[in-house]
Structure formats: structure tokens, C-alpha cells
Chain A
Amino acid sequence: MKIQSTRFGEMEISIENILKLDQGIPGFPDESEFAFLPYEENSPFAFLQSTHNANLTFLLVEPFSFLPEYTFELSEEWSKEIGVSTENPPQIFNIVSIREPLQQSTVNLLAPVVVNWRDRKAKQIILEKVEYTTKHLLFPNGLPEKAAQGGK
């Protein structure tokens, strides 16, 4: 399907990369469909681009690359609602608030985004009884060493 993005222009997105978020996400209750756009190959980052609102883009990160201690239990109720299980395991992302300079960027660990790729469904859930907040430094120890980049 064709979608419009202020940041990326017009794009043709394969249906496999369209995620349904029933009831939207907190703050955006009407945004129920997003395109998943990897930042680059092998990157823990990706964008969620609203298919209805060209201006609405979120940056996601797979948390376990940067925050190996991050852990939570996905309740049975959430697993059921999202449709994930041990046979259809979820992929977890967290929403990043990008800042200048980049080292001050934060990540919302209290409300992870749980993706069910089999059914192309996702949901931002709010964790209970955890110490996490909406604003953790994404790079608490400074920017990580980059992988070797050819030609630079």
C-alpha cells in the first residue's frame, strides 16, 4: 500500500510491514495502523510511521541491545489479547524520545510495544509493579562503539 510520510515522502509498503494497533496508543487513540520501517539493515532501531497521518512518526528500539538488564513479565491477559505465546513469540520494542545531542535521548521502558508478527498486530502496554519509568537514558554509558563502517 502507498503511504505518505513527512519525513520519508511517499512510500510503497508491503502489507507484511503494516501493523494494526487496535485502539491506537496512549495519546493517539485514533492511530490504529502503522508501517514498520527498519532504520537500516541489522539495526536495533526502526520507525513506526502512521499510515493515516504523514506527520506522525515514532522511533523504536529493540531494548535488549542497549539495556540487557531490561526485563518484564508479559501477563497472560496481554499475551492473549495480542495473540502471542511460546509458539508465536512477541518482538519487543520501546519508543525513543530523540534529543539533541543524541546522548540525551530517552526510552520509555514503562510502556513497551509488543508485536505479534504472525498476525501483524501490536500494542503499547503499560507495565505494572515495575521500577521502570517513561524516561530512561538510551545510552547511559555514552554512545556505544559503532560497528566498523567501510570507507570511513
Chain B
Amino acid sequence: MLALTRRVGERIVIGDNVVVTIVDIKGDSIRLAIDAPREIKIYRGEIFDAIAAENKEAAVQQLPAALDGLKGLHKK
């Protein structure tokens, strides 16, 4: 992992087409501007983590007996 120190107004260039600019720092909040092609998906880390955590919860080895309750439920 690469760790860099940057000041407000400075930038980090990632690959050929991603530029991260440090816009503002207030207390422990840092405002970033990210310039990237539209096909590059950018998420707040906690949102991605929440989806990963939910997927891990949903993935079950032995689906419980309650699942039988879904029998006979039809599409509308």
C-alpha cells in the first residue's frame, strides 16, 4: 500500500485517467474531488462494506426450514 501526504489543492493521479484533488480539510473531514471516467465506479467505503456484509449474512450453507414457507407463492 502506498501512503502519501498531500496539502489542500494538491492532487493524486491514478493511472491514466483518475485524478483525486484534496479540496478542503476541516477538523477530521477531508473533502475530495475525484475526476474519473464514468465507467469507473466510485463508492463510499462503508456502502460497499454494507453490501458485502449483507451478502455474507444472506449466504447460508443450510437454508433454514422456514424456506418451505415460500412454497406456493406465485408471481403476480
Which A residues form the contact surface with B (CB < 8 A)?
Answer: 6-7, 25-28, 39-40, 42-45, 55-59, 62, 64-65, 68, 77, 80-81, 95-102, 105, 108, 110-111, 124, 126, 134-135, 143-144, 146-147, 149
Contacts and interface: CB of A to CB of B under 8 A. Distances in A.
B5 interface: no
Given A27-B51, A134-B50, A108 B70 contact: no
B51 A26 contact: yes
Contacts of A77: 38-39, 41
Please report whether the interface of chain A is mostly helix, strand, loop or mixed according to DSSP. loop
A43 B72 CA distance: 7
A57 B55 CA distance: 10
B14 interface: no
Interface residues of B, number: 32
Interface string B44-57: 00011011111111
A108 B57 CA distance: 11
A25 B57 CA distance: 13
Contact of A100 (B55, B56, B59, B66): B66
Given A96-B58, A97-B57, A147 B74 contact: yes
Interface of B: 38-39, 41, 43, 47-48, 50-67, 69-76
A83 to B, nearest CB: 13
Nearest to A111: B51
A98 B51 contact: no
B55 A26 contact: yes
Contact of B39 (A68, A81, A99, A126): A81
